[in-house]
Amino acid sequence: MNHITRRTALVALATLGLAACASLPLNMQPPEVSVSDLRLLNVGLLEQRFGLSLRVLNPNDAEIPVDGLSFTVELNGKPFAKGVSNKAVTVPRLSEAMLEVEAVSSLSGLLRQFGAMAKGQERIDYRIYGTLYTGGLFGGVPFDQKGEVDFADLGVPAGTSRF
């Protein structure tokens, strides 16, 4: 009797597992996450808090429910800030959504960037990477986006304060 119960349970689990795999959309492309805005919220002696507006782009023909993310921001190839969020947003199919999050930077990360700007650096390369959590439906989806801010394009004369 015990042998039949175990076999039935294994068959039921296998069937559920196949059904779960079949319900995942095939050919799903990962959403793209990029920085839309960065604001300084709070300056302390040992750490700084930044507000980031993140644009989540969904290139798929199905909506993506996002229930959180974890991320790291690098500036000029150096670690700058980290953050997590449990804010939920649903990104409509073939559309985008904005997500407001906060990140924390250490004093050393901030000083490194001020040093580079004091040397007359004309642009800042940035990278944001992490995991976008989509609940039980898709699990965690990694993202990695790079970009640059060129101060000459913003009309900021060389050698002037950028902050």
Q: DSSP assignment, residue 31? A: P
More confident residue, 3 or 14: 3
Burial of 81 (0-12, 13-18, 19+ CB in 10 A): buried
Which architecture characterizes domain 26-150 according to CATH? Sandwich (2.60)
Query: For the segment 47-100, what is each residue's pLDDT rounded down to a tens digit?
Result: 999 999 999 999 999 998 999 999 999 988 989 999 999 999 999 999 999 999
Going by pLDDT thresholds of 50, 70 and 90, the confidence category of residue 124 is: confident
What residue segments make up the domains of the chain, in order of their start? 26-150
